[in-house]
Structure 1
Amino acid sequence: MHPVEIQCQAENVCATGLRALALITLCACTQQGSEAPAPPKGAVIGVGPSWILDKEVDRWVDTVALLEPSETRPSWRRKALTNLVLPSKLAALLVPAERQLALGRAEHALQALRTTGTLPDEFQEPLESAMGDVNEVGLGRWIMARGLPLGEWSEILEEAGTFLIMRVLEAPDAADWQPNTAIRIEYVHIPYLRPEDQPALLVEQAREQIRIWAVTPEWEWILPQYYQ
């Protein structure tokens, strides 16, 4: 853990994000040297007060492998961890109250989408669409879309700073996906870190300040050294 000085500059991050990050930093620093709680079954990475389970990473590994078939399973796990799971876990620690509110809104939106096919009238976030390969749809959405039943709204998924609900409108069977597979999806984001909060910057600063460690020797090799 490497605490850094955070200055309130307009070009840095918004005040809400700064306050959240400062609170997490303070909490992490005051707990330095204390004994970590016993990890739950399946935990492979500790992130401050939370844990990443092996199943959270491994659910995406087979799809990551499609993009880099010459790599090995530890490398695929590393890509899934650092591109999908760890950023979301760090973002979730920054503003827990706002995240909980966003989760409630996501549950409300999902219920409406599954029962009426539309978002609630008062819902602020728009229903969006994307079509193309991984570069056009986005890495996270492309990976998460594989295996979803056509036309059905997904469970509530999570990317860094936002919940995600989507449905796949056009895609081959999961077994037929290739690195250049094009798909068509509809989706809605329910953010708890807004674009003006600069979530990528907040997550990067959190990575520098929140303790991240591997629970087992196997995952010490998977977790990049600069995260530890």
Structure 2
Amino acid sequence: MITAGVRATARIGARADGRGGTALPVLEGEGPLAPRRTRASGTEARVILVGAMSGPLGGDRFAVEAEVAEGARLHVGSAAATIALPGQTKDEARYDVRLTVADGAELHWLPEQLICAGGSDLRVATRVELAPGARLVLREEQVLGRVGEEPGRLTSRLAMRIAGRTVLDQELACGPGAPGGWDGPAGLAGHRAIGQLIVARPEFADEPVTARPLTGTAVLVPLPGPAALVTAVAPDARVLRRLLDEALAALTP
């Protein structure tokens, strides 16, 4: 019997605990999405997303929501890479991420890679809502295919608003069935790992970053508002992580 796919949502809520730390009054997950509290680091609460089963598979609908209230600091990572796999249906899988950060709050969103295995069809959408005085470090790493296999299809959208103003809204489509040219010289040029890094700091409003190439194939550009975007492509996930780590170090005071 063919199923319609798994629906699952994880929710994380962080707030200042009144003692200089961060509490997690909301920490819940469904099915394959299991957020787990780990040891705090100073005033920062830490959460790891654990995948309790394979996926997303074709037809699955996953969502993760995180909200960081004023004065709170939250760091979210994942226990392992997420691997999109073909399912019993021909439907695409969806993975939606919604992040909200208030004034005086800080979020580090640093999951492991998302890998689109051969035959998979995944649509990812990340939407970020920041207050003017919020701080954010967000990293996305997407890999087309496992070692030695053809890539799956990936459609990825990343959108961010600061103080209600859209400062970034972009979409990438690649893999089988994507519009022509995605792997050509004006696209990925044969690379199989794609990464983006967003750093938002109120200080950038007075001292915006300067657009410039970084190490290897990474490029830094300022965004309207107190934020910066780094994009990079690489032959594999290991090289991509190194490029993004170096970029983050360059943007960290």
TM-score (norm 2): 0.20
TM-score (norm 1): 0.22
Structure number with greater CO (CA < 8 Å, separation at least 6) is 1
Q: Which has the higher strand share?
A: 2
Q: Which has the higher helix share?
A: 1
